[in-house]
Structure 1
Amino acid sequence: MFGFNIALTVLTFVAYALPFLAPKLFPLLSVLTLILPLFLILNAFFFVYWLLQLKRQVILSGLVLLLGITFINKFYKFSSRALAEEEKDFTVMSYNVRLFNLFEWLPNEHVGDTILSFINDQNPDIICLQEYSESAKVNLRAYKYKAVFMEGKQIKTGQAIFSKYPIFNQGDFKIPDLGNNVVYADIKKGKDTIRVYNIHLQSIKISPDVNEIESHVDAIDKSKSQQLFVRIREAFKKQEKQAEKLVNHRKACPYPVIICGDMNNSAFSYIYRNIKGDLSDCFEEAGLGFGQTYRFKYYPARIDYIFADKRMKVKSFQSFSRFENSDHFPIMTRLAFAN
């Protein structure tokens, strides 16, 4: 048992270090960041196991958990805060709508209308949509201003930012040979100006029902298992390039920034750490529970985020994990400028 404990400790410490190491340096090891929460749970098991036996080995597991305490807060929030609403507040929503079920992945022809009703009920002031398509004919007429960037021939898809406040500048910087995109809009809210980035980074293409992973676990099918890890590794390398482009673009921005969207990576990754930078993770500031954003069987995955400038106060955060009309769940935060 202690041998297993030591092996787990080594893997956990490697996973602790990976957020500080670019995926291009250790692309295969970067996969460990996806299962860091599992490592923490197993270390907690060993801690209890040795504690009940009053063994000194408990010190090892206790040390691992103590050093990983900052990671626990990214995975699960034990308490939440919701500050009083004020007139100066504004709300921001991010949602990967999966083309509003245009190709009927879900056996429900009313998904587009249901999503529209949900957005109207929540009534966010700014909303960032990933995998958006005008072909689904979902009319967000409540929003006077929009920045929409789409590609494709017959079915155009892409990203969109809708706002109740004026948009006076917009753009995107799709990188050739990389999937998905990053778009932005400069928004005027009263005397304040905000730049909102809507990101959709390269997908690692894992099925939400994990049937694909379950099939790869079969030792007989080693070639498919290798293909899965190669695909994840290559996706992480592409995400790194997209993240670098975003970070450099943000450095030249003169306005307070909000970054929303589908990162397709965990909160324990180098990609997350690089994009977040000195911004606030709204879930960490005001969320509760797991903050699940992706409909992944057996595991409460959080791969969608809203990051806010430190000049803004995070007053509340919600993850609507019961609204199952896409493979992602919508998230929303309430913000206010600190001054």
Structure 2
Amino acid sequence: MKKLSGFNKVMFFFNMVLTVLTFVAYILPFLAPKIFPILSVFTLLLPLMLVFNFLFFIYWLLQFKRQMLLSGIVLLLGITFISKFYKFSQDESPIHKDDFTLMSYNVRMFNLYKWMPDTNVTDSIKTFVRKQNPDIVCFQEYAPLDKVHFNRYKYKYVFSSGDSHKTGQAIYSKFPIVNKGDIEFPESSNHAIYADIKKGNDTIRIYSMHLQSIRISPDLNETIDEEKSKVIIKRLSEAFTKQQLQAELIEAHKKECKYAIIICGDLNNSAFSYVYRSVRGDMNDVFEEAGNGFGKSYNFRYYPARIDYVFADDKFAVKSFTTYDTVVNSDHFPIMARLAITSKVEK
């Protein structure tokens, strides 16, 4: 420190503060949000912290200063977090006749309340799904409108919640649905649904989840003052606490399932959170296995938020994963995985 200039001493101070905050964020995925609900907000900022740690590392490296070790160690210890934030592209696996595709899409009620100026959102979504032609589609924030028809799918399960908006979820499948149900979330209009699908001689279970919404607008044009900041933090804290219970309900439900499992949908939380860790369990995050880039799934300005996921257990081989982040028919972007059954599953 004695050999540092006055400016570098200030920079190193901020570097140390950032290091402490980053380590706190590293620990939070292992702590239930209800214990420290306000601190859980830091999990949303972890990607930004990793970027700033990298910039500090480069800053000290260019000066040949040993202070670079501070951020270097932080980045090394957080290497597993980096893979959740960004994936370098890789070659896709060859397509096989036994592969199947699954799409997850939060359609924001097909723009029922005119959040977007486009009056053809429903038709645009139908055209997009028809073009991509997934074998299974899971919709969150699904509104059972008269003009919503996906005729390529012989089998479907549409669930509407009891709220005044009649929002719900739907699973469409080209394969037979032999069982279906829902998981009720206490004191919430959000929920999860599931369908047991017969593919060939195998039965697989698909969960579609929509965890507690955090109710933050993706548009940051409005000024956020101190009062609004307090409201936002309070909303996040309350939402993360509810999400914990909802994640635990899903976790308990899937433990009772004897079939190979895929969980997809809108987690409304980052890949650095306790909620993510709870829902994922020992399953594979398909983005980490075969995605590329940031995997941005929520149309939030200036920040590549990934809050929509596909998790598959080890009975599936992950062939590819795509985020359609140029398809703007909702505040979420559709995601699609190509998978194959590789191990014997329950019939």
TM-score, normalisation: structure 1: 0.96
Q: Deviations over 1:176-232 (max 9, x none)?
A: 2123111101111011111100000001111011245xx33x3xxx33321211110
User: Partner of 1:267 in structure 2?
Assistant: 271
Aligned equivalents of 2:215 and 2:203: distance in 1?
Answer: 36
Matched to 2:292, the amino acid is: L
2:247 equivalent to 1:239? no
Alignment of 1:313 with 2:317, yes or no, is yes
Query: 1:151: how far off?
Result: 2.4
Give the deviation of 1:152 after TM superposition: 4.3
For residues 1-339 of structure 1, what are the structure 2 equivalents within 5 Å?
A: 1-135=11-145, 137-152=147-162, 155-211=165-221, 215-216=223-224, 218=225, 222-339=226-343
1:279 counterpart letter in structure 2:
M
Q: Counterpart of 1:324 in 2: which secondary structure? A: coil
Deviates more, 1:273-282 or 1:176-185: 176-185
* Amino acid of the structure 2 residue aligned with 1:80: Q
- Deviation readout 1:133-174 (Å, 9 max, x if unpaired): 112621111111111110247642200111111111111121
1:12-57, Cα deviation, whole Å (9 max, x unpaired): 0000011111101111100000010100010011101111111111
- The one-letter code of the counterpart of 1:140 is F
Q: More deviation in 167-176 or 12-21?
A: 167-176
C-alpha separation between the residues in 2 aligned to 1:145 and 1:271?
A: 31
Equivalent AA in structure 1 for residue 229 of structure 2: S
Which runs of 5 or more residues in structure 1 are unaligned? none
| DSSP-derived class of the 2:96 partner | coil
Quote the sequence identity (%): 61
- Residue pair 2:264, 2:308 contacting (<8 A) in 1 also: yes
Q: Distance in 2 between matches of 1:129 and 1:210?
A: 26
Q: Which moved more, 1:83-92 or 1:97-106?
A: 97-106
Return the offset for 1:274.
0.8
Partners of 2:140 and 2:265 within 8 A in 1: yes
CA offsets 1:288-314 (integer angstroms, 9 cap, x no match): 101110000000110000001111000
Aligned amino acid, residue 27 of structure 2: A
Q: 1:258 and 1:11 mapped to 2: Cα distance?
A: 34
Contact preservation (8 Å) 1:112, 1:136: no
Structure 2, unaligned runs of 5 or more: 1-10
Amino acid at match of 1:257: I
How far is the alpha carbon of 1:128 from its aligned partner?
0.3
Cα distance 1:16–1:155, how it changes in 2: closer, same or farther (>3 A)?
closer
Distance 1:141 1:65 in 2: 49
Count of aligned pairs? 333
- Aligned-CA RMSD value: 1.2
Q: Matched residue of 1:134: which SS?
A: coil
- Can you list the C-alpha shifts for 1:225-283, whole angstroms capped at 9, x where unaligned? 21211110000000000000000000000000000100000001010011111111111
Q: For the structure 1 residues 288 and 187, does the alpha-carbon distance in structure 2 shift closer, same or farther, using more than 3 Å as the test? A: same
- Aligned mates of 2:71, 2:62 — CA distance in 1: 13
Shift in Å at residue 286 of structure 1? Answer: 0.4
Runs of 4+ residues deviating >6 angstroms = none
Paired letter, 2:149: N
Matched residue type, 1:94: S
Instruction: State the alpha-carbon separation in 1 of the partners of residues 165 and 146 from structure 2.
Output: 9
Query: Is the 1:128–1:161 Cα contact (8 Å) retained in structure 2?
Result: yes
Instruction: Quote the Cα distance in structure 2 between the aligned partners of 1:45 and 1:176.
Output: 43
Q: 2-side partners of 1:336 and 1:179: how far apart?
A: 33
The Cα of 1:105 is off from its aligned counterpart by 1.3
Following TM superposition, by how much is the alpha carbon of 1:58 offset from its aligned partner in structure 2, in angstroms?
0.7
Secondary structure of 1:41's match? helix
Q: For 1:272, what is the secondary structure of its paired residue?
A: helix
Pairwise CA distance, 1:108: 1.2
